Amino acid sequence: MCGQKVEASVPKTICGPCDKIITTPFCTDCGSRGITTIVARNEPATGQKTANPSGNKSLDIQATNKGPLVKTSSFKSLVERSITAWNSLAYATDTEVKGSVLRLSATLRRLNSVDDLFRSRIMFWFFQRRDSFMKETRFMKFDINRLEEYILIPMDDGFVNKKDCFYVSHLWRTREAPDPRGEDFALARQDLSTQSWTYVWIDWTCLPQNASTPAEKEYFNRMLTRTPVLMRECGFEWRYPTFQPRLWILVEVAQYMLNIRTGYAVTDDIKPFINDVLAMKAEGVHQVITRRGYNCSVSRDYRLLIGWLELLIIMTKLVQDVPLKKMILDAVEPPYVGFLEHVDTGIKVDKNTGVVSQGGVTYRFTPLYPVDEDGFPK
């Protein structure tokens, strides 16, 4: 039941991409290596269940529920283009990644439509291709009728990486569009033109912000609640024309600077956010958020973002090894994880009470559990 905590006292293995407990070292659905923890979870909300493909291949046009029409051939081209791309990613020769490619290729090929993809329990990110990004004059709006501009990348270790992928952090100038005149886009494109990369993730481009169907809304909510994975694993590009205390930007900068093993770049436009992250480490998240007046335009996001920041600051204090810290965050952040214990470090995270404990010492954060049907804290 949604919001019901299920206790567990023995180690469990989680498949992150499928957001479920598995009984084998590798997930039988997607082939991902599981993360072993002690974990309690509630059942997925109704919206998390995988829709059954219709199997209707008699038409070359698929209809989404009251949404635009999409050619089936365009979707199948996206599938094959994506699978081909996976074999060229930085870690494609890694044995575990190669095994995942085989299994995830079969999974993706079983999907018959964009709606199937939106509702799939095994989750895939939309990434814009480099040549598509470089030819634009402003941030492209997400459009399922322009599937040729994208590839799909699995939410799985070894696929999204800093060598191939960039995450673009930007200011939203208006609620209707982030950068209507393309001013910030032009600067970001100039920055990225000198970098070596292949795919880029931008919220306006890669998520259906103005979801027009239930499937789009479901996909948007599920992927939005997992975006810290991208902030940690991608190369990070930013352009902020002025300083405005936006909570989403603070989260993005914090995930970037606290999860990088080498030094991070400091420019005039990012410096206020970096200073605030450092202040949060010293003073606490709420103190800095209140003093600096941080806000977000969507009220339901506020509690989630505060909780993410507090968990990140706590984990940064407790775990010095960056890959290990990222692994723990990957395991605890999914909305339907209510309790997690990392066996090796002895770290316990109770998202219902908002308590992290290790060795008899406790730390408090904003409770993030239970969640509503969209995966946001109640």
One-letter amino acid for residue 226 of the chain: R
List, in sequence order, the alpha helices (H) in 87-202. Answer: 95-109, 114-119, 130-135, 183-193
The pLDDT value given to residue 199 = 99
Verify cis geometry, omega within 30 degrees of 0, for the bond prior to 68: no
CB 37 within 8 A of CB 340: yes
Partner residues linked to 239 by β-bridges: 170
CA distance linking residue 77 with residue 287, whole number of Å? 50
Distance of CA 187 to the CA centre of its chain: 24
Name the DSSP letter for residue 29: T
Q: How far apart are CA 93 and CA 192, in angstroms?
A: 26
Residue 137 has what pLDDT?
Answer: 98
Q: What is the pLDDT of residue 262?
A: 86
| Cα(220)–Cα(217) distance, integer angstroms | 5
For residues 235 and 90, is the Cβ–Cβ distance under 8 A?
no
**Residue 3 token pair:** 């919001």
pLDDT at 41: 57
Question: Are 60 and 71 a contacting pair, CB within 8 Å?
Answer: yes
Contact between 122 and 167 under an 8 Å Cβ cutoff? The reply is: no
The structure's pTM equals 0.85
Is beta strand 235-239 parallel, antiparallel or unpaired with respect to 165-170? parallel
Q: Which residues contact 139 (CB under 8 A, 6 or more apart)?
A: 170, 177, 178, 179, 182, 184, 185, 202, 204, 205
Cα within 13 Å of Cα(284), Cβ side = 8
Return the pLDDT at 72. 83
Domain boundaries, the chain: 54-242
Structural tokens at position 278: 């450092």
2-to-126, 371, 378 alpha-carbon distances in Å? 28, 7, 11
Buried b (16+ CB within 10 A) or exposed e, 190-204: eebeeeebbbbbbbb
Strands (E) across 240-352 are located at 337-342, 347-350
Nearest one of 103, 83, 121, 106 to 30, comparing CA atoms = 103
Per-position pLDDT tens, the chain of length 378: 333 333 334 556 767 666 667 767 667 766 566 665 556 555 433 333 333 333 333 334 444 444 455 678 999 999 999 999 999 999 998 999 999 999 999 999 999 999 999 999 999 999 999 999 999 999 999 999 999 999 999 999 999 999 999 999 999 999 999 999 999 999 999 999 999 999 999 999 999 998 889 999 999 999 999 999 999 999 999 999 999 999 999 999 999 999 998 889 999 999 999 999 999 999 999 999 999 999 999 999 999 999 999 999 999 999 999 999 999 999 999 999 999 999 999 999 999 999 999 999 999 999 999 999 999 999
Report the alpha-carbon distance of residue 237 to residue 133 in Å, rounded.
14
Cα–Cα–Cα angle for 170, 173, 175, rounded to 5 degrees: 110
**Other Cβ atoms closer than 10 A to 349:** 30
Cα–Cα distance for residue pair 363/196, rounded to 1 Å = 40
